[in-house]
Amino acid sequence: MAVQAIPKSWYLPSKPHKFCPGCGHGIVLKALGEVIDELEIQDQVIFGCDIGCSLLSWNFFACDSTQTHHGRTTPVMVGIKRSRPELVCVGYMGDGGGYSIGSQHLLNSAVRNEKVTLILVNNTNYGMTGGQMAPTTLPGQKTETSPYGRDPELTGYPTMGPEFIAQLTPDSAYVARATVSKYKQLKKYIKSALRNQMEGNGFSFVEVLSTCPTNWRTNAQQTWNFLEDEMEKYFPVGELKTPFGKGDK
Amino acid sequence: MERVIGESKKSFMTGNEAAAWACLAAGADIMFGYPITPQNEIMHYWTRMAPKYGKGFLQTEDELSAGFTVCGGVQSGKKAFTATAGPGNVLMQEPFGMAEAMRLPLLAIIQQRGGPSSGTVVYSQQEVSLTTYGGNGEGHRIVYSTSTHQEIFDYIIKGFNTAWKFRFPVFILGDGYQAKMREPLEMYDPESRGIKMEEAYPLIGLGGKIGQDRGPSHLCNIYSLEEELYEVITKVQAEYDALAPQITEYDEKFCEDADIILVTHGVVSRAADDAVKALRAQGIKAGYFRPITLRPFPQQELRAAIAKSGAKKLLIAESAIGQLERLVKQEIYGETVKIETLFMPGVGIIESDLIDKVKSVL
């Protein structure tokens, strides 16, 4: 069977995309595009993107889409979903937008079990603004605002997003952590997160571990090593909560 | 549209209750809000009535969220609204900025309380600057400053129409007195007065098959280049300026021969109305000018009132330190009329305050 290289739901005039070479966003957005195609929901999807690198996806899909503000994608998606429940709302954000400036929205929409799907890309730093420390920066990791390495005594430990969201949500929520190094699993989790919304179950959240060679200042091998050896060790990949049966943690 | 009031009827209620009824009569679909005094009862009445009419409500985690959920609701094609005050109005400037940038016709009811910071929960006119020009933009908003419960009702109905007709965010600027006092008003369904309500329409979630019936709708509020932003803002400003004469509203009395014109807005204009009549009865030629829209401001009309009266003085009175005064000064730059002021930040202004002030400056 011929595999289609480019998802049908991608918006071709905006390609090639504007992410840096080696960035993981393209992989996440490819998985999302394929899932939108497979679920045949291109015409129902509302794609909302945060400010930060995720903004570069604002016209990535041939789906109705909206830019929002830094951290505010979650409430915009909630407002749309509450107003038009038939739409499939997908919020796309980074770790800064989701876990720092927009954390109150993430937390409370999880508690309310809002019927939206949020995909949060974790690359352990603020990429768009030039590589500052993020809530997800690993202990000892050097960034522009932790030039001697993140010291947990001063700035705490990395935010464990899916773990805290799993604690806040009822059983009908879907919560998982994926990684761009395991594409099939990533796609499966995104598909589950969309299905969970479409079936009206509840809040659906996927954190995706991703790469940022530009700000990590790493070559291809070092980039992949940091993702697989450092990040995936600290942030366990798997399903934390699934209404579709036992998770594959 | 469903008639919720039926025969128009005299009522006696608080301004917050009147506001909730007005939103219902105007065909509003959904409210997003966060508790803050003195606007709470708008939510209280809405949550009681909304389910009976198939309307939505969500109490959000904060005012940022209330503002942004309203933006989302409007983008999806629903008449969404919120209400807030004071520090809540400060937080909502961020989503109001998005509404300005994306031309989202949201409606927000602002019941002013004192400031800065938490101020009081009682009354103030200190949210004029914030409501007219708040945010990192150019004030592309429409602001109605109401003075009675009847006006709260009337201008909420009108406000939804102005918002959806012209696609600018609309603000109903009340205050704690208007929120909490009870007074009579007449409530009605807009159609019974021949008022046609504008239809809401979606900006995303447009239906049809993308790629076949239409292209995707990509809504944008951030630009890569200075020139792109310049072009967009310049175009919006030109549209705003062109529409302003259709939107601007004011009230004017006794200005033909006035020696001094009292310029007030909102609930203070009720005291000014009484004061001007009392002064006239004492042989003092006082006039009355009230901007009803603070954005856009009735600039030409105020200049005309100054010109035809030949007034030597304006008295600008407000429950704030110069927020109305700054608006007036920027709008009538070049006029040589002397400006007197009565600033009483955070407290009410009554007839005798104005009469005493007029006598002291004439």
Of A42, A72, A84, the CB nearest to B64: A72
What is the mean pLDDT for each group of 10 consecutive residues in chain B (362 residues)?
Answer: 88 98 98 98 97 97 98 98 98 98 98 96 97 97 98 98 98 98 98 97 98 97 96 98 98 98 98 98 98 98 98 98 98 97 98 98 94
Task: Identify the pLDDT of residue B18.
Answer: 98
- Nearest CA to B69 among A92, A80, A100? A80
The residues near A113 (Cβ < 8 Å, ≥ 6 apart) are A169, A170, A172, A173, A202, A203
| A152-197 residue pLDDT tens | 999 999 999 999 999 999 999 999 999 999 999 999 999 999 999 9
B337 touches chain A (CB under 8 A): no
Residue A247 reports pLDDT greater than 60: no
Q: Collect all residues of chain B within an 8 Å Cβ-Cβ radius of residue A69.
A: 68, 94-95, 98, 221
Q: How many helices (H) and strands (E) does chain B have?
A: 12, 15
Residue contact B68–A76, C-beta within 8 A? yes
Domain spans of chain A, in order of start: 16-241
Percent of chain A with pLDDT over 70: 97
Q: Residue B276 gets which letter from DSSP?
A: H
Q: What is the DSSP letter of A40?
A: T
Query: B217–A64: do the CB atoms touch at under 8 Å?
Result: yes
pLDDT of residue A1: 52
Going by DSSP bridges, is the β-strand pair A88-94/A117-122 parallel, antiparallel, or unpaired?
parallel
What is the strand order of the sheet B286-291 is part of?
Answer: B250-253, B286-291, B260-263, B313-318, B338-343
Residues 6+ apart with CB under 8 A from B51: none
Each residue's pLDDT tens digit, A190-246: 999 999 999 999 999 999 999 999 999 999 999 999 999 999 999 999 999 999 875
Single-letter amino acid, residue B324: L
pLDDT for A249:
47
**Residue A31, pLDDT above cutoff 60:** yes
CATH architecture of B9-193: 3-Layer(aba) Sandwich (3.40)
Q: Residue A168 is encoded by which pair of tokens?
A: 């806040």
Give the C-alpha separation, B40 to B46, whole Å.
10
Q: Which of A56, A80, A86, A104 to mutate to test the interface with B (most CBs of B within 10 A)?
A: A80
Contact B205 A64 (CB under 8 A): yes
**Two tokens, residue B140:** 């592309």
pLDDT in tens, A88-135: 999 999 999 999 999 999 999 999 999 999 999 999 999 999 999 999
Which CATH number does B251-361 carry? 3.40.50.920
Tokens of B131: 């409501």
CB contact, 8 Å: B10 with chain A?
no
On the question of pLDDT at A2 being above 80, the answer is: no
Cα(first)–Cα(last) distance of chain B, in Å?
54
Record: contact B61-A107, CB cut-off 8 A: yes
Domains B9-193 and B251-361 share a fold: yes
Q: Which residues of A touch chain B, with CB atoms under 8 Å apart?
A: 11, 42-44, 46, 48, 51, 55, 58-59, 61-69, 72, 75-84, 87, 104-105, 107-108
Assess B232–A contact: CB distance below 8 Å, yes or no: no
> B205, A63: Cβ pair inside 8 Å?
no
- B19 phi and psi, to 5 degrees? -65, -45
Contact yes or no for A43 and B209 at CB 8 A: yes
- Name the closest residue on chain A to residue B212, using Cα atoms: A43
Q: What is the CA radius of gyration of chain A?
A: 17
Burial class (CB in 10 A: 0-12, 13-18, 19+), B108: buried
Pairwise CB contact (< 8 Å): B210 & A42: yes
Residues 173-202 of B with CB under 8 A from A: 202
pLDDT, average across residues A67-79: 98
Q: Looking at residue A73, what is its pLDDT?
A: 98
Tell me if ipTM is over 0.90: yes
CATH superfamily for domain A16-241: Thiamin diphosphate (ThDP)-binding fold, Pyr/PP domains (3.40.50.970)
| Residue B197 exposed, middle or buried by CB count within 10 Å (0-12, 13-18, 19+) | middle
**Could you report the per-residue pLDDT of A32-65, keeping only the tens digit for each?**
999 999 999 999 999 999 999 999 999 999 999 9
Which two structure tokens, joined as six digits, stand for B163? Answer: 């918002």
**Angle between helical axes of B15-25 and B149-166 (0-180°, round to 10):** 40
Cross-sheet strand order for the sheet of B30-33: B56-59, B30-33, B80-84, B107-112, B170-175, B142-145, B293-295
Tell me which chain A residue has its CA closest to the CA of residue B92. Answer: A72
Identify the CA nearest to A124 among candidates A134, A113, A116. Answer: A134
Could you tell me the residue ranges of all domains in chain B?
Answer: 9-193, 251-361
Q: Which helix (H) or strand (E) holds A177?
A: strand A174-179
Q: Do A76 and B219 touch (CB under 8 A)?
A: no
Cβ–Cβ under 8 Å, residues B121 and B176: yes
